[in-house]
Amino acid sequence: VHATIPGMRCPVVVGRDEELAALAEIFGRAAAGGGACVVVTGEAGVGKTRLVTEAADGARERGQVVLAGRSAPTDRFSPLRPLGEALLDGLRDRRPPEDAILAPYLPALGTLVPHWAAGAAFPAVPAPPVVLAEAMLRVLRWLSPGCGAVLVLEDMHWADRETLAVLEYLADHVAAFPVALVLTARSDEPGTSGPGSALTRRAARLHLAPLADSEVAVMAAACLGVDTAPAAIMAGLRRDAGGLPLLVEDLIGVAGRPGPMRYAGIISGRLAGLDAAARGLVEATAVLGIEVDAGLLGQVSSLAPPAVADAVTAARASGLLTPVNGRLAFRHALIRELVLAQLDHRRRAGLCRRAAETLEAPGPGAISERLGELWIQGGEPRRAVAALRRAGRAARAAGAAAAAEALVRRGAGRGAARPGRRCPA
């Protein structure tokens, strides 16, 4: 979960017109008494929170009551947190009603809203999910006479079982109440199954794709406060942002303020969640390049084939690597940069040497321009020069005179190169 830094948001919401219209329609039907549940999915940073916040602002302007809560990675240890947060959000300044229809549900609500608990009932035994869910629907109806209510529950990929049990009932019965239930969930969060398949079957689904290039251009211009984003910035965003609004803001900042690189926090969290083998495989991929053969990765990270398969599975589940043309690649080019940046110098040099040795293994005559770069990074300038000269001679033999000259010149220049610079793309 990335913190919202005031002012560090793109000043306008770009694209998403269809999704905003779909949510407004669902909210309108809820106001008329026909509630519904909708699940908004998409990868981290694609704009789920921004979309739902924008839609909820519209609902508030139309007089609807909006209650919001979210899950966090620690929800396993604090059940029902998102529901408690949403209820406290809506009932903080309200006294329990003298309403016969709600009276039997006050003890259940009191387990999450202490100032609604009747006398000594708190702390009470947790209410059964069905009772708590019914109590929530009734209290939402009571809160919003005539206009309907919107209940936003974010980051349900982290929801605890108790919350999911309540959600199942809410989704089943919301149609009979003037309530729109909006859930968000990451589609790429490792180790989670989202808000539960039974639930998503019954709910409408809005999947957010990354922004198109033209939308990224509009967003970049808005963040920079100019009419048209410079071509060089756009080229960088096309290469590194993968259409993710979070990355657009992180990479170019907003209104002249540098971005906080919230994305780096997400990636280092995912790296930290990998076991040693999978982490080694991801690091080897970063050292070797953008798209890498899995067999080569196994050799560089010294893993036996079954262990490579497990590590590949874990790295894919983490959302860091993805298969492309039968090879493995980073989901976004920027992830590679971030993985390289958190490798300490000695480990990076060691991996580069190991990668170079593996590439040279077919024989001392192995030819690859990458080899020279890897030996440089591995702190072996002599072997780098030899590899680059070989590559130069091979290119000359192939008649590619211009390429050969460039490579030979590079080899000569690299003799004195400092080891430890960043690996080439």
Ligand X SMILES: Nc1ncnc2c1ncn2[C@@H]1O[C@H](COP(=O)(O)OP(=O)(O)OP(=O)(O)O)[C@@H](O)[C@H]1O
Tokens 């030979």 belong to: 408
Nearer to ligand X, 9 or 173 (CB): 9
CB of 127 vs ligand X, minimal distance in Å = 29
Q: Which residue is nearest to Mg ion (CB)?
A: 49
| Residue 257 C-beta-side C-alpha neighbours within 13 Å | 10
Q: Which does 45 bind (CB under 5 to 8 A by kind): ligand X, Mg ion, none?
A: ligand X
Number of residues that bind Mg ion (CB under 5 A): 2
Sign of the dihedral defined by the CA atoms of residues 200, 312, 291, 347, in that order: positive
C-alpha span between 282 and 288 (Å, rounded) = 10
Q: Which residue is nearest to ligand X (CB)?
A: 47
Return the beta strands (E) in 111-246 as ranges. Answer: 149-154, 179-186, 204-207
- Residue 167 in contact with ligand X, rule: CB under 6 A: no
The Cβ of residue 124 has, within 10 Å, a number of other Cβ atoms equal to 13
Q: Are 142 and 171 in contact (CB under 8 A)?
A: no
C-alpha span between 185 and 172 (Å, rounded) = 19
| Residue 200 C-beta-side C-alpha neighbours within 13 Å | 17
Q: Are 195 and 159 in contact (CB under 8 A)?
A: yes
Stretch that binds ligand X, among 48-56, 293-301, 310-318, 412-420 (CB under 6 A): 48-56
DSSP-H helix ranges across 97-160 = 106-110, 129-143
**Structure tokens of 349?**
């040099």
301-to-141, 224, 279, 308 alpha-carbon distances in Å: 58, 42, 10, 9
Nearer to ligand X, 42 or 242 (CB): 42
- Residue 219 in contact with ligand X, rule: CB under 6 A: yes
- Residue 10 in contact with ligand X, rule: CB under 6 A: yes
- Residue 82 in contact with ligand X, rule: CB under 6 A: no
Q: Which does 19 bind (CB under 5 to 8 A by kind): Mg ion, ligand X, none?
A: none
Write out the binding residues for ligand X, residues 241-280 only, by CB under 6 A. 245-246, 249
CB of 246 vs Mg ion, minimal distance in Å = 9
CB of 208 vs Mg ion, minimal distance in Å = 11
Show Cβ contacts of residue 119 under 8 Å, excluding neighbours closer than 6 positions. none
Q: Are 252 and 223 in contact (CB under 8 A)?
A: yes
- Residue 182 in contact with ligand X, rule: CB under 6 A: no
C-alpha span between 91 and 81 (Å, rounded) = 15
CB of 49 vs Mg ion, minimal distance in Å = 3
Nearer to ligand X, 16 or 141 (CB): 16
Q: Are 31 and 165 in contact (CB under 8 A)?
A: no
C-alpha span between 181 and 139 (Å, rounded) = 14
User: Pick from 101, 104, 122: which is nearest to 113 by CA?
Assistant: 122
Stretch that binds ligand X, among 40-48, 165-173, 199-207, 397-405 (CB under 6 A): 40-48
Stretch that binds ligand X, among 8-16, 138-146, 370-378, 405-413 (CB under 6 A): 8-16
**Structure tokens of 413?**
């220049």
CB of 267 vs ligand X, minimal distance in Å = 12
Which of 31, 37, 44, 150: binder of ligand X (CB under 6 A)?
A: 44
Nearer to Mg ion, 48 or 348 (CB): 48
Nearer to ligand X, 85 or 373 (CB): 85
Nearer to ligand X, 106 or 221 (CB): 221
Q: Which does 219 bind (CB under 5 to 8 A by kind): ligand X, Mg ion, none?
A: ligand X
Which of 49, 53, 111, 358: binder of Mg ion (CB under 5 A)?
A: 49
- Residue 233 in contact with ligand X, rule: CB under 6 A: no
Binding site for ligand X (CB under 6 A): 2, 9-10, 13-16, 42, 44-50, 186, 219, 245-246, 249
Binding site for Mg ion (CB under 5 A): 48-49
